[in-house]
């Protein structure tokens, strides 16, 4: 009887552990356990919507790292002429990897840019380090690796990596219903970083918005979905340069994709760019292959995209095609609106200085289970090549400030440190 009882208790205890294991929150490191800024290296602080009379006063905040003295809520800095806003990529692809992380992704990107700055200074002793400010936000993913979120209930969070598409953050409330963090578009937060820079750095001459991997996707799509902040900053005499490094996918400007001869789809595999005999056509067999994120359909489902499309229709399309712009002023989501929005956003993107930077040896099969990504190319390099071809050969839109740079000879084909410290990386960041 005692033996049966012991076995029964053991079974119940294992069952209980199993339930707890399934329901328990992953054991991520707390903020206190993470690596921090070294002395005189950087400052960790946060951005809030508090500066602008015409900005929505969203409740919430985003943590970021910066070099000492470049805190956006600090006194004006008249020495800084160039601000670099750097966006990180995805951290960890599994809960086990996330649990092992001991360095915040924003801090990692900050250090990678500073490593590139060290090299740039060695190559060009006349480079004025004091004239450069580096800002590196740390984007929070809801319920994943959230040291700031665990300790700060006002931090904005986004589901998975949807922040790179301009989606709204999760509404965060207390148990009593008090709102701690409003739902806000991630691109509205980037707007606020840029606007705050105008006050912080009165002598600013250039802003560089750069990102690697998922961060590169965010920069690319942010340049597409501008809503006047870019133009406002340029009107103040400050130029803006966008640098999208090694993004995993693009918001493709065309409905067509590059397909193998006689086929209507693309099979996942190694993508070295050997597609010279492929033809551009409309693919089949892949749902949502051209929806926002991968293309320019379905913009009406993204609030930021709607505002951006309406702005681009009025600002960029109307001067060149008044008829289509007038048709585009009809109901959001209608066929006429979608047609006008696509052309207007293409015109807006073409009007900006955007550098697309890609490691030339990045041929690995990525996003194998994602047909929408594979239709753009089987690897990051192949997507980059097809995106370049679409802009330079097929769209017929003048875009003298769109640049495409394939970087040869990198030891690590998907490393922001390697990209930023390359000759091309140093040029686009610091010159």
Threshold 0.85, pTM exceeds: yes
The angle at the Cα of 328, spanning 324 to 330, to the nearest 5 degrees, equals: 135
The beta strand positions in 217-359, using DSSP E, are: 239-245, 257-259, 279-281, 353-359
Exposure of 157 in the CB half-sphere (CA atoms within 13 A): 21
Residue 85 lies in a domain: yes
Position 338 in a domain:
no
Residue 396 lies in a domain: no
> Could you list the residue range(s) of the whole structural domain that residue 163 is in?
33-246+414-431
Q: Which of 86-100, 143-157, 201-215, 350-364 has the lowest mean pLDDT?
A: 143-157
- The reply to whether 158 falls in a domain is yes
Structure tokens at 86: 């750097």
Position 188 in a domain:
yes
How many domains is the chain built from?
A: 1
281 in a domain, yes or no?
no
Q: Which two tokens stand for residue 93?
A: 């692809």
CATH code for the domain in which residue 42 is found: 3.40.50
Average pLDDT for the chain: 90
User: What does the alpha-carbon distance between residue 389 and residue 250 come to, in Å, rounded to a whole number?
Assistant: 13
User: Residues 173-208: pLDDT tens digits?
Assistant: 888 888 899 999 999 999 999 999 999 999 999 999
Q: What are phi and psi of 65, to 5 degrees?
A: -110, 150
Question: Can you tell me which residue has the tokens 């450069």?
Answer: 132
Rounded distance between C-alpha atoms, residue 252 and residue 244, angstroms: 14
Residue with tokens 């990897």: 97
How many other C-beta atoms lie within 10 A of the C-beta of residue 12? 10
Question: How far apart (Å, rounded) are the C-alpha atoms in residues 270 and 183?
Answer: 40
pLDDT tens digits, one per residue of 92-137: 667 777 777 788 889 999 999 999 999 999 999 999 999 999 999 9
Check whether 26 has a pLDDT greater than 50: yes
């Amino acid at each position: 009887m005692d033996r049966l009882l012991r076995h029964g208790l053991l079974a119940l205890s294992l069952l209980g552990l199993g339930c707890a294991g399934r329901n328990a929150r992953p054991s991520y490191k707390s903020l206190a356990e993470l690596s921090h800024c070294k002395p005189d290296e950087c400052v960790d602080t946060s951005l809030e919507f508090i500066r602008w009379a015409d900005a929505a006063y969203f409740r919430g905040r985003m943590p970021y790292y910066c070099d000492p003295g470049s805190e956006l809520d600090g006194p004006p800095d008249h020495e800084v002429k160039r601000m670099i806003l750097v966006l990180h990529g995805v951290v960890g692809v599994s809960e086990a990897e996330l649990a092992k992380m001991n360095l915040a992704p924003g801090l990692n990107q900050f250090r990678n840019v500073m490593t590139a700055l060290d090299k740039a200074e060695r190559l060009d002793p006349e480079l004025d380090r004091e004239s450069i400010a580096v800002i590196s936000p740390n984007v929070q993913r809801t319920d994943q690796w959230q040291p700031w979120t665990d300790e700060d209930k006002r931090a904005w969070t986004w589901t998975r990596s949807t922040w790179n598409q301009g989606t709204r953050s999760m509404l965060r409330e207390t148990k009593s219903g008090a709102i701690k963090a409003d739902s806000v578009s991630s691109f509205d937060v980037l707007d606020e970083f840029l606007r705050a820079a105008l006050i912080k750095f009165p002598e600013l001459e250039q802003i560089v918005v750069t990102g690697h991997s998922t961060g590169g996707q965010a920069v690319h799509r942010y340049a597409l979905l501008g809503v006047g902040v870019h133009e406002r900053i340029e009107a103040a005499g400050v130029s803006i340069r966008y640098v999208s490094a090694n993004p995993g996918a693009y918001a493709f400007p065309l409905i067509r994709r590059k397909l193998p001869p006689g086929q209507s789809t693309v099979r996942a595999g190694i993508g070295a760019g050997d597609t010279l005999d492929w033809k551009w056509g409309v693919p089949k067999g892949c749902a949502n292959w051209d929806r926002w994120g991968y293309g320019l359909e379905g913009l009406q489902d993204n609030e930021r995209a709607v505002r951006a499309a309406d702005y681009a229709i009025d600002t960029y399309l109307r001067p060149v095609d008044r008829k289509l712009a007038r048709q585009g002023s009809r109901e959001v989501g209608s066929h006429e609106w979608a047609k006008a929005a696509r052309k207007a956003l293409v015109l807006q993107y073409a009007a900006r200085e955007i550098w697309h930077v890609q490691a030339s040896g990045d041929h690995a099969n990525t996003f194998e289970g994602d047909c929408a990504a594979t239709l753009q190319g089987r690897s990051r390099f192949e997507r980059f090549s097809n995106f370049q071809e679409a802009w330079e050969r097929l769209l017929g839109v003048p875009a003298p400030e769109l640049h495409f740079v394939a970087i040869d000879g990198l030891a690590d084909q998907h490393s922001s440190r390697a990209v930023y410290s390359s000759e091309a990386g140093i040029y686009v960041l610091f010159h």
